[in-house]
Amino acid sequence: MEKHITPVVLDPAGADIQAESARLRDLGPVAAVELPGGVHAWSVTDAALLKELLAGPEVSKNAAQHWPAFRNGEIPADWPLTPWVAVQNMFTAYGDDHRRLRRIVAPAFTHRRTTALKPRIAEITEDLLGALAAIPPGTVVDLREQLAYPLPIRVICELMGVPGHMHANLRKCVDGVFDTSLSPEQSQENYADLYALMYALIAYRRENPGDDMTSLLVAASDDPETALGEKELADTLMLVIGAGHETTVNLLDQAVFQLLVQPRHLAGLAAGRISWPDLIEEVLRFEAPLAHVPLRFAVQDLTVGGVAITRGDPILAGYAAANRDPNVHGATADEFDPARPVKDHLAFGYGAHHCLGAPLARLEATVALPAVFERFPEMALAVPPEELGSVASFISNGHRHLPVYLNQTR
């Protein structure tokens, strides 16, 4: 990175992701940023340029292969974002390795398997809504805590075969991976706890195999012809379980929030002027569940948006900024409009690393959102929007809490 460029220091607590994203867009299609630990990177916020990068071989997610500073030991082992770059799974794999690992995981997310989950998603949703309905009127309910979070984590844990006694520790560890405000010591401790949990899950499913994805991956790891190493197995489980619920938590959270602060869209849904899929796609665009996704690395010297990026430079995919690119969405890019004709967004990535679990996240939202508003049509926020806070992350884009009155009784 050129020394004379002063980078934007990203807020590790993610206090105002959209304002920060707007500031980056104002600096041009590519902006210099500083990550926790003083690591410099390039943030690409132009949607077309970002798509071009994500679709080609000119950038890699493999730090060990394509990030000289990491390979040479210049990045300390306790760097808070180490879990995002040091793992060995399809998230960081490049080329043939990525294709090999994606082929192993893809059977868990086929259209048939995803569609088959719909009745179970409906059952879990009904169970959660039933528990909410039993809460006395006038009680403030944290809908993120009591609906948006438990639904996707229960779905992914059932899909992956995570036994109930591991759920609480799993949640704590996954939250820690996305919490970019942790100190290096806290991040390292969380990283170690997460690995211990993944190896415990592997051991459990070796002893108790079932019709779940972890059992299938364990069997693949035990098959010499699959060439799936033990660390690759643990890292793959970490990726699928973590990514398999975090984005959906934020999607549900942000969708409920938008409908509560802009109730005219509920009327539009009731009148058929907009559909639930339209609303969900607009939530994904307007409030990308993952605002920035670290990291990619230039495989060769590049010129992107008039900016010279040197081979090995880290690149941050600015999904939140790109999703509000006025070159794509015009003068209304910063407005929430489920009826907008252009649905294009990058919430689930693009190219070879497009999220395999995107259909599952959409299915969960399509089942849960109509159900919650049908059960609680008078639901209202219990505090002003500015008091909701945000999760402590510049990666994960959600509210810290979502307190509501389910029946507007105060």
Query: What is this structure's pTM?
Result: 0.94
Domain presence at residue 2: no
The pLDDT of residue 408: 65
Task: Provide the pLDDT confidence category of residue 276 given band limits of 50, 70 and 90.
Answer: very high
Predicted confidence at residue 104, as pLDDT, reads 86
Mean pLDDT (whole number) for 171-194: 88
pLDDT at res. 242:
82
Specify whether the CB–CB gap between 339 and 326 falls below 8 A. no
The answer to whether the beta carbons of residues 343 and 284 sit under 8 Å apart is no
Q: Which two tokens stand for residue 378?
A: 């008078």
Residue type for position 21: S
CATH number for the domain spanning 253: value is: 1.10.630.10
Residue 348 lies inside a defined structural domain of this protein: yes
Which residue type is seen at 325? Answer: D
Domain range enclosing 119: 8-405
Which residue, among 265, 268, 284, 368, has the nearest Cα to 322 in the 3D structure? 284
Per residue in 71-93, pLDDT tens?
A: 999 999 889 899 899 988 899 99
CA–CA distance, 360 with 404 (Å, rounded to integer): 26
- The pLDDT of residue 349: 94
Instruction: Tell me whether residue 410 is in a domain.
Output: no
Domain count of the fold of the chain? 1
3-class SS letters over 256-305: HHHHHHCCHHHHHHHHCCCCHHHHHHHHHHHCCCECEEEEEEECCCEEEC
**Whether the predicted pLDDT of 153 surpasses 60:** yes
Please report whether residue 3 resides in a domain: no
What is the C-alpha to C-alpha distance for residues 138 and 159, in angstroms, rounded to an integer? 36
Separation in Å, CA 131 to CA 126, 151, 237, 403: 9, 13, 30, 16
Residue 410's pLDDT is 44
Q: State pLDDT tens for residues 194-252.
A: 999 999 999 999 999 998 999 989 988 888 877 788 889 999 998 888 877 889 999 99
